[in-house]
């Protein structure tokens, strides 16, 4: 497709979408960001073709407008666009983590000749900023497209065409359905992860060794607690009702297992873990979900000089990208191993094939 794309918000997500569009289409991409230096950086990195300081000057010629901003800012931008000169037939989309309020605002304030299609690419990175943008960031990830009665079907098809370079799997959902599901598998887990960290901090005051021992498995299951506090405050407030409903269900579950432990009910405790294991083992391993996920290869290495360099050199020679690497010194179920993280199963499989002849490797599901 040819045309002009206006990117409102030039960060990791917006920059990655821009790169995927540039790869697939002969389009010109103009970027705007409240932090103009960020937009200039994106231009110098050839992520966008041009940056502007006044959003309204760029809207009238845009065929596609992508709002890549937090939810609160997205709503403000939609209201600004309602007072801007827009091209007849322009498609406007967003990447917000909650959808109901954004979709309602868009269909209330935007003119009828503009087509709004809500979107949410369910992928991210341990890095942030436009400089971390990758054209394949969304490959094999779910990309939610929200549809309501007012949604133009043709605009949905056109948007998917614009975004086909992401190599994402498009899935259509109602805004309310999206917000409920995102609450269960993304928003609520962030609350739990942060509460676990605060529980550790509470006991750390009397038992300082907790912080050292938490470097293993505890660090794994609370990784998402390191997410941006401002962003997550924004998300929770805009998805308040589904999350409050999920609190009720979760607290009832916690009370049940608390009572089972208090009463020494071995059968109920066993069922608690067994039931969770069975459902978790049914999860698909072929698609990337809402939480930032990486695939890990564990390597049993000797404590000797040069081993780490040898492994990274093997991977570098075969152009296999590492997203993270860590020597695990303390973990209940793994001892003395190197964990190497990759963005996809293909890279991990290649790495396993290359390294396994020299060192014992294994994968945890």
Q: Is the pLDDT of residue 249 over 60?
A: yes
| CATH dotted code for 2-173 | 3.40.50.720
Instruction: Tell how far CA 217 is from the center of its chain.
Output: 21
Q: What is the pLDDT of residue 247?
A: 97
Average predicted confidence (pLDDT) for the chain: 90
Q: Fold for 178-281, please state it.
A: 6-phosphogluconate dehydrogenase C-terminal fold (1.10.3660)
Q: What is the pLDDT of residue 141?
A: 87
Q: How confident is the model at residue 334 (pLDDT cuts 50, 70, 90)?
A: very low
The span from the CA of 68 to the CA of 204, in Å, is: 39
Q: Are 300 and 336 in contact (CB under 8 A)?
A: yes
The span from the CA of 326 to the CA of 294, in Å, is: 13
Q: What is the pLDDT of residue 232?
A: 93
- Delimit the CATH 1.10.3660.10 region(s) of the chain: 178-281
Q: Which of these ranges, 302-311, 330-339, 349-358, has the smallest mean pLDDT? A: 330-339
The tens digit of pLDDT for each residue in 183-198 reads 999 999 999 999 999 9
The span from the CA of 101 to the CA of 97, in Å, is: 11
Token look-up 């009910």 returns: 265
Q: How confident is the model at residue 126 (pLDDT cuts 50, 70, 90)?
A: low
Q: Are 341 and 324 in contact (CB under 8 A)?
A: yes
Q: Is the pLDDT of residue 284 over 80?
A: no
Closest CA relative to residue 20, chosen from 179, 228, 166: 166
The tens digit of pLDDT for each residue in 43-96 reads 999 999 999 999 988 999 999 999 999 999 999 999 999 999 999 999 999 999
Q: Are 189 and 147 in contact (CB under 8 A)?
A: no
The span from the CA of 123 to the CA of 143, in Å, is: 8
Q: What is the pLDDT of residue 335?
A: 45
Q: Is the pLDDT of residue 292 over 70?
A: no
- Delimit the CATH 3.40.50.720 region(s) of the chain: 2-173
The span from the CA of 195 to the CA of 241, in Å, is: 20
- Delimit the CATH 3.30.2130.10 region(s) of the chain: 295-362
Secondary structure string (H, E, C) spanning 198-218: HHHHHHHCCCCHHHHHCCCHH
Dig out the tokens for 273 from the structure: 């873990």
Mean pLDDT of 267-286: 88
CATH of 295-362, one of 3.40.50.12280, 3.50.50.60, 3.30.2130.10, 3.90.1150.10: 3.30.2130.10
């Amino acid at each position: 497709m040819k045309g002009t794309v206006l990117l409102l918000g030039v960060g990791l997500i917006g920059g990655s979408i821009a790169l995927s569009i540039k790869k697939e289409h002969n389009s010109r991409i103009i970027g705007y960001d409240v932090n103009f230096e960020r937009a200039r950086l994106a231009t110098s990195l050839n992520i966008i073709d041009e940056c502007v300081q006044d959003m309204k000057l760029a809207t009238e010629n845009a065929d596609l407008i992508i709002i890549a901003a937090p939810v609160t800012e997205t709503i403000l931008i939609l209201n600004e666009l309602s007072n801007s000169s827009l091209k007849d037939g322009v498609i406007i989309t967003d990447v917000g983590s909650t959808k109901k309020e954004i979709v309602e605002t868009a269909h209330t304030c935007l003119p009828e000749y503009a087509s709004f299609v809500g979107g949410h690419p369910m992928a991210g990175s341990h890095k942030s900023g436009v400089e971390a943008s990758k054209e394949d960031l969304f490959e094999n990830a779910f990309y939610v497209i929200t549809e309501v009665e007012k949604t133009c079907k043709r605009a949905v098809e056109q948007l998917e065409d614009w975004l086909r370079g992401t190599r994402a799997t498009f899935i259509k959902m109602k805004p309310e359905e999206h917000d409920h599901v995102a609450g269960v598998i993304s928003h609520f887990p962030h609350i739990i992860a942060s509460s676990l960290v605060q529980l550790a901090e509470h006991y750390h005051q009397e038992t300082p060794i907790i912080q050292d021992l938490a470097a293993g498995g505890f660090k794994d299951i609370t990784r998402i607690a390191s997410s941006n506090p401002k962003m997550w405050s924004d998300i929770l407030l805009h998805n308040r009702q589904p999350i409050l409903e999920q609190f009720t269900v979760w607290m009832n579950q916690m009370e049940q297992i608390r009572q089972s432990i208090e009463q020494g009910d071995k059968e109920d405790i066993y069922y608690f873990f067994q039931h969770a294991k069975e459902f978790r083992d049914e999860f698909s391993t072929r698609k990337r979900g809402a939480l930032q996920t990486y695939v890990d290869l564990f390597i049993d290495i000797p404590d000797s000089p040069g081993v780490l360099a040898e492994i990274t050199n093997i991977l570098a020679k075969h152009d296999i990208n590492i997203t993270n690497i860590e020597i695990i010194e303390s973990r209940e179920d793994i001892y003395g191993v190197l964990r190497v993280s990759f963005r996809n199963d293909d890279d991990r499989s290649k790495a396993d094939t290359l390294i396994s002849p020299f060192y014992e490797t294994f994968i945890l599901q």
